[in-house]
Amino acid sequence: MVVPYFHLTAVVMISSADGAVLGACLALAIATLLFVFYIQADASDLAPHRSKLDQLMERRDTIYDNLRDLRFEFRSGKYSEGDYNAMKSSLENEAAPVLAQIEQVTESQVRRGRGARAAESERGR
């Protein structure tokens, strides 16, 4: 079997010219595999970062934004007065339980804070 000379020379020329690129690609592939399979996530990364109060306040703010947008769109003539009142009532009914939950959460936090301070003051006596 005879292998043409120009074919072998082309392979040698391509591999020597692209050696740096191939080396960089190999290094990147190794780094990616190490990152994916070797680095472990911290427990703090897996924990939820938002408290119940944060979630409720975000929901409240969203409802208030929707009410503000609804008022603007009504004033610009997009909705009739009946539609506006119906959607406004719906948003207000949606906001009521959220506000009640915020009140409960903040009251329970205040009670816990007062209870801890009262217990510390009794220990100090």
The answer to pTM > 0.85 is no
Return the pLDDT at 21: 84
pLDDT band at 57 (very low <50, low <70, confident <90, very high): very high
**What CA–CA distance (Å, rounded) separates 125 from 121?**
7
- List pLDDT tens digits, range 73-122: 999 999 999 999 999 999 999 999 999 999 999 998 887 776 555 555 55
Return the pLDDT at 103: 95
Distances (CA, A) of 7 to 2, 11, 14, 21, 22: 11, 6, 11, 22, 20
Return the pLDDT at 111: 79
Within 13 A of 66's CA, how many CA atoms are on the CB side?
A: 16
- Contact in structure between 112 and 53 (CB atoms under 8 Å): no
pLDDT, mean of residues 42-51: 69
- Contact in structure between 57 and 96 (CB atoms under 8 Å): no
1-10, 33-42, 59-68, 106-115, range with the lowest pLDDT: 1-10
**Residue whose C-alpha is closest to residue 73's, from 61, 91, 93, 51:** 91
Higher pLDDT, 17 or 68: 68
